[in-house]
Amino acid sequence: MSGNASEAFSRAIREIARRIGGEKVLTDPEDLIPYSIDASKRFEGAPWAVVRVSSTEDVAAVLEVADRERIPVIPRGSASCLTGAVVAKRGGIVIDLLPMNRVEVHPEDMVVMAEAGATVQKVDEECRRHGLMFPPDPASSKVATVGGALAENAGGIRGAKYGVMKNWLLALEVVLPGGRVLRVGEPTLKWRWGPDLTGLFVGSEGWLGVITRAWFKVIPAPERVVRVVGVFPDMESAGRAAADIRASGILPLGLEIMNAETLRAVSRATGIDLPQEGAMLIADVDGPREAISRLAESVAECMRRAGGEVMLSDDPEEMERLYLARKMAYASLTRLYKAVEIEDITVPLSRFPEALRRIDELAKRYGLPLPTFGHAGDGNVHPTICYDPDDEEQVRKARRLAEEICDVAIELGGAVSGEHGIGIQKIEALRRELRARGAEHYLDLLREIKRILDPNNIMNPGNFGL
């Protein structure tokens, strides 16, 4: 911090403490360092202060003062993001939204209101009490907050059928720099005063304003779920089975795929007995009691046709066991390798088998372990680069491999990030994707929009390279 900036910061932090209460403001280095990371393991940056807000008014006070004093502000939930999106790249104030975690279900309206700091799992749990379900379920839903999941437009296992956060959003409360509280949309199943600006904040990764509350539509929880698991000779045939299932007119709740490298890693790390070659596909089918076995059997048939050996179950314990391989995938890799970087590309469904084949070729060419798993139902796959961070050659290879994986997505007409976001990690990849689509000016447009809402560029500067 320069002398002037340092003075402005002290002035700002004193005023914030006076207005919202000193106990909500942390400035000890021993409190700030824990706020310097996210789950990327690559990017770090300690803020100058952390403000633990408990109301929209608190957020407004912080944004009013910070905007006046030109201090960067980084909104933060559980910091489980994988791209460096919430690290304080240029210092500033981290707004910790975890204390804002209320959830209100309105079962007769089929709507749930959640504050930004509530976890996605808590929202779903509250809905379940009323026989309802909140469909988005990122793998990190235990920790991922509503604010963070919206700012990253997170997806999840059930994304195959139910899509991502934006598909369920009705209305938002956002605090803008300067402290203005903006309300977009209505908590009704329909409304239209367009254009729909809720979408402006979805996926914005904290560089336009601070999401404080959101209203979502919810649906009745499925009556029955059956899990169908197929083991295939290779990834491509598993990918074909996935495409065949989709083409047969069945929309599985989730459709998860894993390659042999992943299966072997889970076996090695956990001792679970799994096939060591080929690939695995896990399909969850939901539906009414009367129809469920017919639907499950159709899915099983698609798998058999593609050369799969099939097991199915609706017993919760057996279902859990069948799912263990997928659930333990990331954990197993972190136990086996010193550095694990999870990629997140997405391609059109029809190109999914080809994407899998090309990822496989890349793995062979680079000679680095590349366990690959993901959501075959929506074309989103996570090739996970494992390497030794102390070996310079491997680090270089890993970076280059990450670029090539993104290029596969770009060439096949897909996107460099399906659900994890851009942050710092994917800035270059996003630029390449935009260039390939002849849309380089997209980032300029974003800059202009940002200038309108955040003229002093205090909101999470550095994300997206903005």
Partner 1 sequence: MFLAFIDTAPAMIPPEVELTRGGLARGGDPLGLGPRVRSAWAEGLDLPSRGELLFYAGDFYPVMGYAELLLRLTRSPLSTRRLASLGGALMKLGLLPAALRIAGRGANSRYQVSLRKAVDSLTKLGVRPAILREEEPSFGAVLHTYGLLDEFSEHARRVWERFREAGVRTIVTPDPVAALFFRKHYPEFVDGWDIDAVTWVELVAERVASEGVRLGPVSRWAMRVTYHDPCVQSRIMGMVEQPRFLISEIPGVELVEPPRRGVNTGCSGDGGLELVQPEIARRLARARGEELKNTGAELALTSCPACLLTLRSSGVEMFFGDLIDMVHDALLSAKRGEPREVRWAGARRPLRLTKPKGLSVEGLTSTLAEFASRCVRCGFCNPTCSTAQVLDGLESRSARGRVTLIRAMVEGRDLRPGEVLDRLYTCVLCGACELACPAGLPVPDMIIYGRALAIKLGLVEREELGVGGGGRR
Site for partner 1, rule CB under 8 A: 26, 28-31, 33-41, 50, 52, 78-80, 96, 98-99, 101, 117, 119, 140, 142-143, 330-331, 334-335, 338, 340
For partner 1, the closer CB: 41 or 90: 41
For partner 1, the closer CB: 29 or 249: 29
Question: What's the closest the beta carbon of residue 332 comes to partner 1, in angstroms?
Answer: 8
Question: What's the closest the beta carbon of residue 386 comes to partner 1, in angstroms?
Answer: 12
Biggest CA–CA distance in the chain, Å, is 72
For partner 1, the closer CB: 28 or 108: 28
For partner 1, the closer CB: 50 or 171: 50
Question: What's the closest the beta carbon of residue 286 comes to partner 1, in angstroms?
Answer: 26
CA 281/CA 273 separation, integer angstroms: 16
b/e map 62-79, b = 16+ CB within 10 Å? bbbbbbbbebbbbbbbbb
Question: What's the closest the beta carbon of residue 29 comes to partner 1, in angstroms?
Answer: 6
Rg of the chain in Å (alpha carbons)? 23
Question: What's the closest the beta carbon of residue 248 comes to partner 1, in angstroms?
Answer: 35
Question: What's the closest the beta carbon of residue 387 comes to partner 1, in angstroms?
Answer: 14
Closest of 290, 300, 397 to residue 339, by C-alpha? 397
3-class secondary structure for 96-122? ECCCCCCEEEECCCCEEEEECCCEHHH
Q: In this structure, are residues 288 and 243 in contact, taking their beta carbons and an 8 Å threshold?
A: no
Q: How far is CA 324 from the centre of its chain?
A: 21
Angle, helices 329-336/260-270, rounded to nearest 10 degrees: 70
Q: In this structure, are residues 46 and 63 in contact, taking their beta carbons and an 8 Å threshold?
A: no
For partner 1, the closer CB: 122 or 358: 122
For partner 1, the closer CB: 117 or 239: 117
351 vs 267, 381, 416, 443, CA distance in Å? 29, 12, 15, 27
Question: What's the closest the beta carbon of residue 409 comes to partner 1, in angstroms?
Answer: 24
For partner 1, the closer CB: 264 or 358: 264
